[in-house]
Structure 1
Amino acid sequence: MTTTPEKLLEIGIKKRNREIIDSWSSLAEDFSEGMFSDGEQYRLWVKNRLRTQDKNKNQLTSITENFKESIEINKDGSQSSNKLIKMSIEDSKDVNYLLKAHGYNPDLWELISARSNIWNSYSKKDGIMQLYASKISVKPKKDKLSIESIRSMFKEMSDNYIRPTHNPIRYSKNGMMLEVSIADIHLGKLAWQGDSNDTYNWEIARERFFHIINDVLTRTQAYKFEKILFCWSNDFFHYDGLTKTTTGGTPQDTDLKFAQMYKIGTNMLVEAVDILSQFAPVETFYVGANHDKLTSYVATEHLAAWYRNDPNVTVDTDPKIRKYVEFGKCLIQFSHGHAEGKRIGEVMPVEAREAWGRTIYHEVHAGHFHSEKTVTKDNGVIVRYLNSPTGTDTWHFESAYIGALKVGQAFIWDKELGLLDAIYTTVE
């Protein structure tokens, strides 16, 4: 059997360490297969190999010690990380592996670029190792929620929430329709008296939200409703995603981390639907707005999953930003009002052509401007921009968008007679 150079070196090291009593000459004769003419040549060969290895080890150790790991945080929120990482070529192509190796959660960060260079290193424990000098650039993920975090929140809520048992007590098959529209609550907004002349936080938002609902239900005790229309998705959340900006990327002042805002918000919505559905079957839906287009949509899906087996609650998860509700001779368009401009009252006959032909009373209910304004279009459509119960933040104060009443609104609809009454709930 042929003895390899590695085996010859191993035997020579044992001889130097006095683990073998045989002479160098006998070892060369027995194992070198003519590679060495005598024992002295074998001994010198082992000595030189070990000297070369020690030199390489010292060089590798010096290289490793001189490598400087670094993290850079850039003005735009992106970061760069430079580390020595033990990995394979396949690992160097795996985005999630690289993010985790550099200490970034793949649910929260996305990879912009990556570069890996092979380094060799030495340690007494592992000997000579092949490492990679890995440099990556990352940025926070926008407009994306962690599926695991949403699943965890949903399960926690499902395990702990005590759901009231009820049958609607003001329901009538041929009754009227109650529309509860709470526009622009902006859960998560932070306003400070010192620089905005107002105080607002998530606790105030929650208090106002339920005050409006309870006030409306109290003031409509004389009515029996066929259904309650619950419109909440008009900037219900103050920002959209992990970077605390609107959907379009504008930074916002907030008193809540994203997971807190989402958890508190979905709990508020479930509680609100449970309250309303004690009086009549509830229909709710998604309206795309400029502060929380994604987060409100995910919250709508959350409601749909929560009430999937409840015959008294209907949740429309259609992702289109405008919705139409037909009730007898009434057709109502729900929009946030930030995108359509002057066209907001002109799309109804096109988008809801058949319902338009069946109905007489046509209205658009929108938010966005935080103050009430009514416009009648040439085609007879009434556009109502609704008040908001939210606080005044620094940007609105400095821009002089002040003075609007903090009000929630609700409407009572009759199938034959159209809009019968509007209810205003002043929260301040």
Structure 2
Amino acid sequence: MIRLNWTDEQKNRIIELSKQGLSSPKVAQQMFDEYGINFSRRTVARFIATGQTSSQYKRKPKPKVKDVKRGTEIVINKDGSTTSTTTIEDMNREKAKDIDFVLRAHGFDPEEWDIVAAKSNFWQQNSVEKGLIDLCQSKITVKPKVDKELTPQDIANIFKADVKPYKVKQTSHNAHNLVVPLPDMHFGITTLKDVESHLDKLLGILNKGYKTIVIEQLGDLFHSSQMWSSQTMRGTMLDEVDMVQAIEDAKQFFDILVPVCLNNSTSVYIKQMAGNHSGNMEYIFMEYLKAKYPQVIIKNNIKYRDAYLLDNVGIMIAHGDLAPKNLPMLMANEFGGVWSLSHSKEIHKGHFHKEKTVDEGGVISRQLGTVKPNDKYEISNGWTLSKKELYALEYDNDKLVAEWHV
């Protein structure tokens, strides 16, 4: 049942303003100016498009309506979504992947509507005026945006809140280099309190001073790829977590770790490797670190693998979920420069939440564990026996000389 809080006069006024060509936000502002009531722009857009004021509309859907001029068929569904089918002449396969273009082609404002599903069919047809033309039948199902949804800009603002660039005078007390791998932190399940003791011990090692320090973010920095629902990049549902707090914990963790690295080295690098849980969030988080720490050289990417030289040591990094058995050969083929110039070669990866080191034809493959507490899924399957540790790997110019477990 619809709950209509607007008077007929107000609804008629909205329709009148819409016909004058005003956008939904401007209609909402004009209504506020005239009636002193805060009309949500999304609710206004919903009313203009569907005649509804409630996202929980349950009345029997209206029959199909055909826009003869545009050749468009619109169906209002029981769940409040709208299905639109139309033929678009200037659509191509690239434009069909552009969500904003598709929405506008169907007459929907991208700021007001989300696509639930989309399907495009392409063919060619002879035209008397234009000859052979490309046509596309596009069918989409859309729903009005919900006021409480966080936009990408909202998420970016969470990461960038109160960012003030941090700079120090860097010094070195050691000719050795240090690598700090951070696999599978899963902030959201992991809290700052869970890593405090590990971080204290790691800071003690960093305070020895090094020539170069490399922080490897090996993926799954966060437990979820979403803010309002807990799920992986592929949509697998997870235990519910507070992602706003997860971001704050991650910020505090790096805001402790990175300054100590800067104070105890001549150069600091952060290498980013996207994980299957939260690769999108990790990429944005690296952009926050770039803004906060301009002295740190950050390699931000969403690739499956990457490699770098640390003096004469070649290191390839991967999250570890893809092609784990082929990584040594992939290192040789995909990163020939690093491979040929290195005196020793290593692979650093995570994903499996347990430690395993293997010599694979002279390439040392290090599968690293995690400090993440066991979640319900791991407990139910009995995957609770692995050590909970952070790592620090110390190298001279040519090879590993010390391996710290903290």
Please say whether Structure 1 and Structure 2 have the same fold, judged by a TM-score greater than 0.5: yes
Aligned to 2:401: 420
Shift of 1:183: 1.5
Alignment map for 1:192-231 (pairs within 5 Å): 202=190, 205-219=191-205, 221=207, 223-231=208-216
Q: 1:376 offset after TM fit, Å?
A: 1.5
Quick check: 1:70 aligned with 2:57? yes
* 1:302-359 superposed Cα distances (whole Å, 9 cap, x missing partner): 222333xx33x11112332322121122111111110113112221111111221111
CA distance in 2, matches of 1:259, 1:79: 33
Amino acid aligned to 2:168: H
Q: How many angstroms apart in 1 are the aligned matches of 2:403 and 2:199?
A: 14
Q: Label 1:253 to 1:177 Cα distance change in 2 as closer, same or farther (>3 A).
A: same
Deviations 1:269-310 (A, max 9, x none): 344322321212310021021111111112112222333xx3
Other-structure match for 2:236: 250
Q: Does 1:398 align with 2:385?
A: no
1:146 matched to 2:145: no
Change in CA separation of 1:219 and 1:156 when aligned onto 2, cut-off 3 Å: closer
Give runs of aligned pairs for residues 62-101 of structure 1, distance below 5 A. Answer: 70-71=57-58, 80-81=79-80, 93-96=106-109, 100=112
Identity across the alignment (%): 20
In the TM superposition, residue 208 of structure 1 has moved relative to its aligned partner by: 3.6
Q: What's the CA shift for 1:238? A: 0.4
- Quick check: 1:408 aligned with 2:398? no
Structure 1 residue 187 displacement after superposition:
0.5
Q: Taking structure 1 as reference, are residues 165 and 358 closer, same or farther at Cα in structure 2, changes over 3 Å only?
A: closer
CA contact (8 A) 2:81 2:143 kept: no
Give the structure 1 partner of residue 254 of structure 2. 269
- 2:357 match: 374
Q: Distance in 1 between matches of 2:55 and 2:390?
A: 58
**Correspondence 1:383 to 2:368:** no
Aligned to 2:176, the other structure's residue is in SS state strand
The code of the aligned residue for 1:306 comes to K
Q: Deviations over 1:85-144 (max 9, x none)?
A: xxxxx99944337x74xxxxx5xx43447xxxxxxxxxxxxxxxxxxxxx9643999xx9
Q: Deviations over 1:193-218 (max 9, x none)?
A: xxxxxxxxx5xx31343433331231
Residue in structure 2 matched with residue 316 of structure 1 by the alignment: 299
- Of 358-367 and 298-307, more deviation after overlay is shown by 298-307
Aligned CA distance change for structure 1 residues 96 and 265 (closer, same or farther; 3 Å): farther
Distance 1:361 1:140, change over 3 A: farther
The one of 311, 323, 327 aligned to 1:340: 323
Structure 2 unaligned spans of 5+: 1-50, 60-76, 83-102, 119-139
Answering whether residue 268 of structure 2 is matched by residue 287 of structure 1, we say: no
Q: Secondary structure at the match of 1:238?
A: coil
In 2, distance between residues paired with 1:227 and 1:69? 57
1: CA distance between counterparts of 2:372 and 2:217?
Answer: 13
C-alpha contact (below 8 Å) 2:305/2:318 kept by paired residues: yes
- Do the aligned partners of 1:374 and 1:385 also contact (CA within 8 Å) in 2? yes
Given the two structures, how large is their TM-score scaled by the length of structure 1? Answer: 0.60
Which amino acid in 1 is paired with 2:340? Answer: G
Contiguous gaps of at least 5 residues in structure 1: 1-63, 73-77, 84-89, 101-105, 114-134, 190-201
Q: Indicate if the aligned counterparts of 1:325 and 1:331 stay in contact, CA closer than 8 A.
A: yes
What amino acid does structure 2 have at the position aligned with 1:283? Y
Distance 1:241 1:264 in 2: 16
Q: Which has the larger radius of gyration?
A: 1
So what's the TM-score if we normalise by structure 2?
0.63
Aligned length: 294
Task: Give the SS at the match of 1:346.
Answer: helix
Tell me by how many angstroms 1:402 deviates: 1.9
Identify if the C-alpha distance between structure 1 residues 355 and 297 changes in structure 2 by more than 3 Å, giving closer, same or farther: same
Q: Which amino acid aligns with 2:162?
A: M
Which one of 130, 150, 168 corresponds to residue 170 of structure 2?
Answer: 168
Instruction: Give the match's secondary structure for 1:415.
Output: coil
